[in-house]
Structure 1
Amino acid sequence: MIQTVLGPVEPAQLGRTSTNEHLLADSRHLRRPLRGGEWWDGDVRPDNLGDLRWNWLASADNLHLDSADVAVDELERAHADGLRAVVEATSVGMGPDPSRLPDIARRAGMHVVAAFGSYIDKTLPESWKQQSDDDMRAVFSRALSESIPGSTVRAGLLGLMGTSADITLAEERALRAAASAAAEAGCAVSIRLDAAARRGPEVAALLASEGLDPHRILFCNIDKVMDAAYVHDIVDTGAVVEFAFGSENYFADGARDATDGERIAFLLALCETRPEARITLSSSVWTKGQLARHGGMGYGHVVRRVVPVLERAGVPSSRLERMLVTEPAELLDRG
Structure 2
Amino acid sequence: MSERVRTVLGDIAPEELGVCDAHDHLFISSPALPGQELDDAEAALAELNAFAALGGNAVVQWTPWGMGPRTEELPGLSRRSGVHVIGATGMHQAKHYGRDETAGVHDDLAGLFVRDLTGPRVKAGLIKVAGAYHRLDDHARHVMAAAAEAHHATDAPIGVHLEAGTAAMDVLDLLCGTHGVSPRRVILGHLHRFPDTRMHRAVAEAGAFLAFDGPSRVHHATDWRLLDSLGALADAGHAHQLLLGADTVTALARSGADGPGMPFLLGGLRPRIERELGAALATAIFIENPSRAFAARWRP
Q: Distance in 1 between matches of 2:31 and 2:81?
A: 26
Q: Distance in 2 between matches of 1:263 and 1:24?
A: 26
Listed as ranges, the matches of 1:158-237 within 5 Å are 158-159=127-128, 161-165=129-133, 166-195=135-164, 198-208=166-176, 209-237=178-206
- The equivalent residue for 1:320 is 282
- Does the CA contact (< 8 Å) of 1:235 and 1:277 recur in 2? no
Shift of residue 170, structure 1, vs aligned partner: 1.7
- Does the CA contact (< 8 Å) of 2:188 and 2:210 recur in 1? yes
- Does the CA contact (< 8 Å) of 1:198 and 1:230 recur in 2? no
Shift of residue 30, structure 1, vs aligned partner: 2.6
- The equivalent residue for 2:89 is 116
Q: Distance in 2 between matches of 1:265 and 1:131?
A: 45
- The equivalent residue for 1:264 is 227
Q: Distance in 2 between matches of 1:275 and 1:240?
A: 9
What is the TM-score of this pair, normalised by structure 2?
0.91
Unaligned runs of 5+ in 2: none
- The equivalent residue for 1:284 is 247
What's the secondary structure of 2:87's corresponding residue? Answer: strand
Say whether residues 1:97 and 2:61 are aligned partners: no
Say whether residues 1:17 and 2:13 are aligned partners: no
Say whether residues 1:303 and 2:271 are aligned partners: no
Shift of residue 235, structure 1, vs aligned partner: 1.1
User: Would the alpha carbon gap of residues 283 and 199 (structure 1) be closer, same or farther in structure 2, given more than 3 Å must change?
Assistant: same
Shift of residue 173, structure 1, vs aligned partner: 0.5
User: Would the alpha carbon gap of residues 184 and 299 (structure 1) be closer, same or farther in structure 2, given more than 3 Å must change?
Assistant: same
Tell which structure's C-alpha radius of gyration is larger: 1
Q: Distance in 2 between matches of 1:28 and 1:173?
A: 21
Q: Deviations over 1:41-80 (max 9, x none)?
A: xxxxxxxxxxxxxxxxxxx2xx111111111111001001
Shift of residue 200, structure 1, vs aligned partner: 0.7
Q: Distance in 2 between matches of 1:177 and 1:109?
A: 33
Q: Distance in 2 between matches of 1:77 and 1:284?
A: 15
Match of 1:84 among 41, 47, 57: 57
Q: Deviations over 1:196-233 (max 9, x none)?
A: x7411111121112221110100112111101111112
What is the one-letter code of the residue matched to 1:8? D
What is the TM-score of this pair, normalised by structure 1?
0.82
What is the one-letter code of the residue matched to 2:96? T
User: Would the alpha carbon gap of residues 214 and 294 (structure 1) be closer, same or farther in structure 2, given more than 3 Å must change?
Assistant: same
Number of matched residues? 292
What is the one-letter code of the residue matched to 2:57? R
Name the Cα RMSD after superposition. Answer: 1.9
What's the secondary structure of 1:29's corresponding residue? Answer: coil
Q: Distance in 1 between matches of 2:107 and 2:32?
A: 28
What is the one-letter code of the residue matched to 2:256? R
Shift of residue 288, structure 1, vs aligned partner: 0.8
- Does the CA contact (< 8 Å) of 1:5 and 1:113 recur in 2? yes
Identity score, percent: 25
Q: Deviations over 1:158-211 (max 9, x none)?
A: 11x12112322122101110012112211200001122x741111112111222
Q: Distance in 2 between matches of 1:212 and 1:194?
A: 21
Shift of residue 11, structure 1, vs aligned partner: 1.0
What's the secondary structure of 2:160's corresponding residue? Answer: strand
What's the secondary structure of 2:108's corresponding residue? Answer: helix
Shift of residue 119, structure 1, vs aligned partner: 0.6
Q: Distance in 2 between matches of 1:93 and 1:16?
A: 28
What's the secondary structure of 1:83's corresponding residue? Answer: coil
Match of 1:330 among 292, 297, 300: 292
